[in-house]
A and B are shown apart, each in its own frame.
Chain A
Amino acid sequence: MNAQATVTTRPTGAQRAMRFLLPVIVFAAGLAAWELVVRIKDIPPYVLPAPSVIFLTLIKDWAVLSQSLATTLATTLEGFAAACIGGIALALLFNQSKWVEYSLFPYAVVLQVTPVIAIAPLLLIYLEQQTAVVVCAFIVAFFPVLSNTTLGLNSVDRNLAGLFQLYGASPPQTLRFLKLPAALPYILGGLRIAGGLSLIGAVVAEIAAGTAGAGSGLAYRIAESGYRLNIPRMFAALLLLSLAGIVIYGMLALISHLVLRRWHESALGKES
């Protein structure tokens, strides 16, 4: 462990800069090649738009696209919040009673392994569209929160648990001062996965709802632009979705780091 730590101390400023710069250079080179091929071969935008065209479309259609982005983000956020609350609450319930866990866990697994794209059309029949979309995001995102929290609550140090018993800790005290803090790194790991998944769930549901619905999320824009052969706008919407996913992941990773940095191995600086 120590030996490894001393080896990984090495990355100097220059190395760190390269780690950041290299992907950017690759990205720029890729874009340039793309632009070049489209121009030289004179490919029409409805087959493959050049990056510059996509960028211009993003600016030109910003009014429509930003509206859609806001809609999709709101759906994602609602699904994510529901998944966090639902997943953690269910895990706490499982932790309190083995019987509840035995009774309900198989259904959580069923919900997880059934492809959401197959459930979405059914949900759209029974629920209002906006609700159905949020429920889809929830279904996809809640399982990692549930399973990670369960894992965390079960990985409490046995001696610490004995200590709490010795000092006569009440169940709420044990939960608050021992189980939840011990499970925190696992919970945060689950949330990091759930963030990206709730975006996927929202997009899948929007696609399933398709043009039939009154929705106006980014995925709906992609489907709609596809029917209209507005390929540059498809790319622009895709770009926004991808950026949204990156920002969601980055924010959750940052929160996790800030919460754990003083004690958990996963967030510790390399020098110690």
Chain B
Amino acid sequence: MSSVKTSSGVEAGLAALAVSLRGVTKTYDNGVMALGPLDLAVRKGEFISLLGPSGCGKSTALRLIAGLSAPSSGTVRVARHEGEVQPGHGIGFVFQEPTLMPWTSVHENVRLPLKLARVPKLEARARVDDALASVGLADFAEAFPRELSGGMKMRVSLARALVTDPDILLMDEPFAALDEITRFRLNNDLLALWRSLRKTVIFVTHSVFESVYLSQRVVVMTARPGRIQADIRIETVEPRGEEFRTSAAYSDYCRKVSAALAPSYSGQSTL
């Protein structure tokens, strides 16, 4: 956590940035260099995707931004919530698995971040209900995680990340394990949420199609140690919907991103 510093007004250029990484590297204890050096700047309210092959350090980058691990070198700056919210709560994290506590209800799972911050029960209840409603699960508050489908569990996980009203939402291949139809629906719901809540979203994926569909910027990473290979802006008519998925512009972008991604896979088995 020590290397995560609050952005100050001193650096005026950083004021509009939600996240900035400078020369960040991560070397694991076993000597494997997983990441970097990586430079990345994400503006407030931006939706960006980190795209790259497995093991390129995208998840590591996300964990560094979340403060779950410290960089070996370089600096990670994360803009904090203004106001009364406690440190760390400016960030919501959605893991690849739903990562729910199986021993308690959906409501209690979503309430967890508030409970840990000792938010009074009554206030927490209202916020949990709001968060559940925003992901369309208002009727499932008392259900247990095992009673839900994979897509619904992921929605609960998303609600839990949103319940603290974070500025930044970090998502680590959240929909990778879902079937295509569920994933498309969650993609659309996520876009709708992003439009209405205007959070900064950093979305890690290994799907070219998902990254182009969702994000304003696709950051393509190289194989390990992960660096930035290309930074591609996706510009289209907003708000995006299903028609974008079948448009010519969409397939052009997909081709472009795939081309940028191809060198990352060179030297690897095509399987």
Contact = CB atoms under 8 A, between A and B. Distances in A.
Interface stretch (B7-15, B39-47, B97-105, B201-209): B97-105
Nearest to B63: A162
A70 B35 CA distance: 67
Nearest to A170: B116
A162 B104 CA distance: 18
B144 A165 contact: no
A268 B146 contact: yes
A17 B30 CA distance: 58
Contacts of B102: 263-264
A232 B1 CA distance: 72
B67 interface: yes
A162 B112 CA distance: 13
A181 B88 contact: no
A159 interface: yes
A272 B68 CA distance: 36
Interface string A41-69: 00000000000000000000000000000
A169 interface: yes
Nearest to B170: A166
A163 B95 CA distance: 9
A157 B97 CA distance: 11
B86 A262 contact: no
A166 B67 contact: yes
Interface residues of A, number: 22
Contacts of A162: 63, 66, 68, 93, 95
Interface string A162-175: 11111111000100
Interface string B81-95: 000001111010101
B117 interface: yes
A265 to B, nearest CB: 8
Interface string A148-159: 000000000101
Given A160-B101, A177-B116, A263-B103, A168 B144 contact: no
Nearest to B69: A162
A157 B157 CA distance: 15
Contacts of B89: 167-168
A238 B116 CA distance: 53
Given A167-B89, A167-B113, A168-B117, 20 more contacts: A162-B66, A162-B95, A163-B95, A164-B116, A166-B93, A167-B116, A167-B117, A167-B164, A168-B86, A168-B89, A169-B116, A173-B116, A178-B101, A182-B103, A262-B103, A262-B144, A263-B103, A263-B144, A263-B146, A268-B146
Interface of A: 157, 159-160, 162-169, 173, 177-178, 181-182, 184, 262-264, 268, 272
23 contacts: A157-B99, A159-B97, A159-B99, A162-B63, A163-B93, A163-B95, A166-B93, A167-B89, A167-B116, A167-B117, A168-B89, A177-B101, A177-B112, A177-B115, A177-B116, A181-B101, A181-B103, A181-B104, A182-B103, A184-B103, A263-B145, A264-B103, A272-B146
